[in-house]
Amino acid sequence: MKFFVDTADTKDIADLAATGLIDGVTTNPSLIAKSGRPFADVIAEICALTPGPVSAEVVATDYDGMIKEARKLAKIASNVTVKLPLTLDGLKACKTLTGEGTQVNVTLCFSANQALLAAKAGATFISPFIGRLDDIHLDGMDLIHEIRQIYDNYLFDTEILAASIRTPNHVKLCALAGADVMTAPPAVIKSLVNHPLTDKGLEIFLADAKKAGIKV
C-alpha cells in the first residue's frame, strides 16, 4: 500500500520524505490556508520535495471554473494531481482532464456508487473518507471493502486512496481491505512505528549492553 501524507507543512513532508516511506502528498485549501502563503508557491515547494503525486484542489464548483483552475494547477509541476469534488460537474471535469493526460483525485466520496461513477469518469484516484463516515456512526471500512470488490469485478484502473485516516488502526484495516493508497496526517504516520514492547525491548538491550561494557 502506498503512503501519502496529508498536510501542507513542508517541514513535515521533508522529514517524512527522508525516511523513504512517503509516496505522495495530499493537500486541500484548508491545509494550505494554515500556511499563510500563496497557494501556488506551497504546491510548487511540495512538488519539489517528492516525485510522487501531489494533490492540489480546485475551489471552483462549476465545470468551466474547475477546468480553468485545473489547467493552471497542472502547469505548476509535472507531479501535480488535480483534486476535484465528487459532483456531476466534477466528474465531467475529471473525464476532460484525464483525457488530456492529467492525473485526477476525485475527493469527498462517501458511497460505493459514487466510487463507481468516478472510475467510469477515468479518475486516477478515488478518495473515500473513512473518519467522517465513522463520525456519523457508519463503518468507513465497509466502504473500502465495497469499492475494492466493485473495482476488481470490472478491472477499473482507479486507485482507492483511503482518506480521513485518524488512527493507526485505520491504516491497518485499510491495508487488510486492499486500499491502494492511504493518506494520513504526519502524526498518524509517525505513530505507526510505536509499540510498547519495542520500547521495552530496546530499553533492556541497552541496559544489558551498558552492563557488559559493549561498544560498537
Residues acting as catalytic residues: 83
**Which 3 state secondary structure label does DSSP give 181?**
strand
Give the chain's largest Cα–Cα span.
Answer: 71
CA distances to 87, 138, 171 from 117, rounded to whole Å, are 10, 21, 25
**Residues 172-189, buried b or exposed e (16+ Cβ, 10 A)?**
ebbeebebbbbbbbbebb
108 sits in the region (left: phi over 0; alpha: psi -120 to 50; else beta) called left
Paired with 109 in beta bridges are 128
